[in-house]
Amino acid sequence: MTSEPSTAGRARYVQGLFTRIAGHYDLMNRLMTGGQDRLWRQETIRRANLQPGSRLLDLGAGTGDLSYEALRQQPACHPLAADFTLEMMRVGMGKARAGEGAVDQWAAADALALPFPDNTFDALVSGYLLRNVTDLQRSLKEQWRVLKPGGTWVSLDTTRPRRNFLSPFITFHMHTVIPALGRWLTGSAEAYRYLPESTEHFLRAEELAARLASAGFSEIGFRRRMAGTMAIHWARKPLISYNNR
C-alpha cells in the first residue's frame, strides 16, 4: 500500500509524486501502454474538433503531450498548457527545444479554481487529470465555466474496468508489472502503485458521464480503451446554458 494521505493533503502528495517522476513520465506512459497512449491522445484531440484560431485549454497538461498533438493536427490553433506541477511543465517546455513544435503558452493552475475568465476557451482537453483532483464536481464546474457556449470538452483517463476473463491479467499488470517498471526506471515504485490504486478508486465510465451531466454538459459520450482500463469521454457546453448546477 502507498502512504497516500487523507483528502486534505492529497493535492500536495500528488504534486510531489509528479515532481519526482517528471523526467521519466512520458517514457513510462509509453511502456505501460505499449505505445497506445499516443493513439488515445490523437483521438482525444480529434474529438476536440479544433479549427484555425481555436483557443484550447489543456488542463492538467503535465509535459504537454495533448498540446503538442493539437498543434500537429491543427497548427493554427492556440493551446494553453496548464498544470499545478512546475517540474512537469519544465519538461514539457523542453520538448520545443527538442524539435516538437512550439507550445508557447504555459500556466500554473489549480483545477479547482481556474485563473481564467468565464467563456474563454473553444475547447478543453485533459489527460489523466480527473482521477487526481480532490473535488471532481468542483473541477468539472470550473471547466464548464471557462468553456465558451458550444465549446467541446474531452478527457482521457483511466477507468475502473468491468470484471471479465481478462481481469486477472489486468490486475497483474497494474499491481505487479507497472510498479516494477516504475521502480526500475524512476526508482519510485510508490508513484506507480498510486496509479492502480487511484484507478480502482475512481469512477466507472458511466458514472463519470453522469457527473458530466450534473455539471451542466450535454451531448455526452465515451469509449473504453485497453481492455476497459482507459476511457475517452467527450461532451459539449450547451449554446444556451442555464445556471450551472
pLDDT digits (tens, 9 = 90+) for 185-235: 677 667 677 777 777 778 999 999 999 999 999 999 999 998 788 999 999
Q: Which fold has domain 7-236?
A: Rossmann fold (3.40.50)
User: Please, which pLDDT band fits residue 8 given cuts at 50, 70 and 90?
Assistant: low
Q: Residues 117-169: pLDDT tens digits?
A: 999 999 999 999 999 999 999 999 999 999 999 999 999 999 987 666 565 66
Task: Say if residue 110's pLDDT is above 90.
Answer: yes
DSSP string, 167-178: HHHHHHIIIIIH
pLDDT category, 240, cuts 50, 70, 90?
A: confident
1's grid cell = 500500500
Alpha carbon of 151 to those of 53, 83, 109: distances in Å? 13, 21, 20
Alpha-helical runs (H) found in the chain: 7-21, 25-33, 36-48, 65-73, 86-97, 136-146, 167-172, 178-186, 189-200, 205-214
The confidence score (pLDDT) of residue 167 equals 57
Domain spans, the chain: 7-236
3-class SS at 24? helix
Q: What sign does the CA torsion over 84, 105, 117, 137 have?
A: negative
